[in-house]
Amino acid sequence: MYRSPQDSQCLRCPARATTNGTAKGSLKDCACELGYHGDPGAGVACADFNECSIGEFGCTQRCVNTVGSAYCTCNPGFRLSVDKKTCEDFDECSYTKGRCQQLCVNTPGSYACACNGTGYVLNRNGYTCDDINECEAGTIVCDHRCVNTLGTAICLCHRGYKLLEDKSLCEGHCENLMGSYRCHCSALGTVLAPDGHSCQDVDECNRTHTCQQVCINVPGGYECACHPGFFLQNANLPRGHLQD
């Protein structure tokens, strides 16, 4: 309110204007309220001030003007900090893994799903993981049979064949030739059996061996031993002496 110049009557300031304190004397003492600008004393009405137009509101991302004020908002993937001005990344992964089926990787303003290991590929939907068929892709090559499993694939051998330590070759490993095939025995001390595709132990004692006295055939090799009254000095060169 302000006092009329002609008398002691109090008059109301124009819309969105007010006086600072009491006992003021003229219309010039009416100033615009916070959030409005104008000059009531010069006949310019108080109108909304667009705080966003000069960046006065201090928003780091988005500013929304309102009548009498303004407020800050954030881009998708961010949320307003407690200071109501700055925006901080929203960690989608901390909330139900961002709907990712396997792995969730938080990024500024967004997030991405990923898959475990090398046995899965991210589906086009961006959320779920599809198993890779390594048998069809040829990333796992098996001697006999390849069986796809979730996250990987395994090799199996035909009946009677044994999977070797490399998890892909089968003992009795065979290769295709023009109109025929040839088999190999990969394990040390084994040799192709007369059937042409299975492997059998080599009896070194019936062939070449370096034992001086007694040769004992074992799977994959042989061992030397001595006649009674002798002891073994060296595995490859047994030498003994007669006991008294």
Binding site for Ca ion (CB under 5 A): 48, 65, 70, 89, 106, 111, 131, 148, 153
For the bound state, the minimum distance from the C-beta of residue 51 to Ca ion, rounded and expressed in Å, comes to 5
For residue 106 the two structure tokens come to 């938080």
Residue with tokens 């390594």: 134
The whole-angstrom distance between residue 120's C-alpha and the CA centroid of its chain comes to 11
CB 129 within 8 A of CB 123: yes
**How many Å apart are CA 7 and CA 21, to the nearest integer?**
20
* Closer Cβ to Ca ion, 148 or 217, answer by number: 148
* Closer Cβ to Ca ion, 89 or 223, answer by number: 89
* Closer Cβ to Ca ion, 118 or 210, answer by number: 118
The values of phi and psi at residue 175, to 5°, are: -120, 145
For the bound state, the minimum distance from the C-beta of residue 61 to Ca ion, rounded and expressed in Å, comes to 14
Does residue 32 sit in helix, strand or coil? strand
* Closer Cβ to Ca ion, 90 or 161, answer by number: 90
The whole-angstrom distance between residue 16's C-alpha and the CA centroid of its chain comes to 57
* Closer Cβ to Ca ion, 33 or 89, answer by number: 89
Rg (CA), the chain: 45
For the bound state, the minimum distance from the C-beta of residue 127 to Ca ion, rounded and expressed in Å, comes to 15
CB 115 within 8 A of CB 121: yes
* Closer Cβ to Ca ion, 70 or 115, answer by number: 70
For the bound state, the minimum distance from the C-beta of residue 158 to Ca ion, rounded and expressed in Å, comes to 22
CB 75 within 8 A of CB 64: no
For the bound state, the minimum distance from the C-beta of residue 135 to Ca ion, rounded and expressed in Å, comes to 8
**How many Å apart are CA 178 and CA 233, to the nearest integer?**
52
Greatest Cα pair distance, the chain, in angstroms, is 150
Amino acid at 202: V
For the bound state, the minimum distance from the C-beta of residue 78 to Ca ion, rounded and expressed in Å, comes to 8
